[in-house]
Amino acid sequence: MTERVLPDADTIEAALASHDGPWGAGARVLSVVDQSTGLGQAAVLRASIAAPNTCPSLWAVKILGWGRHTLLDSRDSLLDRREAHFYGSGISDLLPNGLTTPPAATVFSHHGFTWVVMRDIGAVLQQSWTPDTATIAASRAALLYIPGVLRPGLLDAPWLELEGYAAYTHHIQTGHENLEALADDPLLRALFTPDQVRDLHTCLDAAEGLGARAAELPKTLVHGDLTPRNAGLDPRGTLALIDWEHVGVGPVGFDLGTFVSLYRGFGGSGELDEPAILETYGRALSDLAGTDLRHAAALGFAIAHLTWGLHLRLGPGLTLLRQGFQHDNPAKLAAHVDDIRSGGLRALSWAAAAGVVTPVR
């Protein structure tokens, strides 16, 4: 995909004028700040917008498909359209108390692109995550089970992502190659011990079996990319979620696994008690379902670490390191190395729970 110059205030103003929306007629765009992460396929901007005779307010402006290819190399043909489907489907209206999305989300087309414009909730998202707030998030994440109960046919929508845990299996071969190369890299050879490298190879090779186990688990609506950067708790303890490109149907426990997988890497403070936070989620989920789903949630949680989390880290994550990523910024390099190591070790710690047998030594 060819990189595009990000839209300026005049471009956004023209787009808003092309569609009636909650920003009001005659809205002016006063300032624009780029908030694109560089990992997705959308341009993400924060715009200060004011209609005549109103005070300026902050809005998030997302232009789907405006981004660029990255090492994540998604093979998902719906990735740049799914969020528009989500907001247009009414699913956000089915979210129970305790879950929310950015207010006033509006989807429209302009000059061949799909735009999603919504109130900015940056103040909620910029909070610092702690083990206590992460535990609250775990109980709130279980509420994603409710929309499928309220609308039984919901989980059959053809645009939902169906196998998010397998979204990055195409990186498995690269993961094997990166692991093999560690021994010859003086900067990375200490990342994992030889025994750990062998066990990680085994976990990568277990993808097909893990997928089969995931397919047998109870299903729920999943955010699909529930990480600390995509979530925040408002003052009432409501979990606000953004970036629904990977919304889909998945095994219970998967969303919690993605949150825990990137908790430290995305700025969470303190150490999470993973069994305790999983128990919190499992109990909340079981109460909602009216049956004990704690074992199923634990298996879905473990599968998230061994698939989604491991494939990303050992594939594009290690590739970035081998290409010199952040070598001129020791602090960021150390954080990236720590995330790959801790994520790999976390996956190994949950391997037995997911049914992956590593060699006995």
The model's pTM is: 0.95
Q: What is the arithmetic mean of pLDDT over 179-208?
A: 96
pLDDT in tens, 327-344: 788 988 899 999 999 999
pLDDT in tens, 282-337: 999 999 999 999 999 999 999 999 999 999 999 999 999 999 887 788 988 899 99
Record the tokens describing residue 280, joined without a space: 């919190």
Which CATH code for domain 124-349?
3.90.1200
User: Which residues make Cβ contacts (< 8 Å) with residue 274, sequence separation at least 6?
Assistant: 260, 346
User: CA angle, 240 as apex, 349 and 116 as ends, to 5°?
Assistant: 115
pLDDT value of residue 5: 80
Which CATH code for domain 9-120?
3.30.200
Strands 57-64 and 42-50: antiparallel
pLDDT in tens, 247-264: 999 999 999 999 999 999
> Are 170 and 312 a contacting pair, CB within 8 Å?
no
Unique residue bearing structure tokens 């634990």: 298
The domain ranges of the chain are 9-120, 124-349
pLDDT value of residue 228: 96
pLDDT value of residue 1: 40
pLDDT value of residue 73: 80
DSSP output for 17-59: HTS--TT-TT-EEEEEEE---SSSSEEEEEEEEE-TTS--EEE
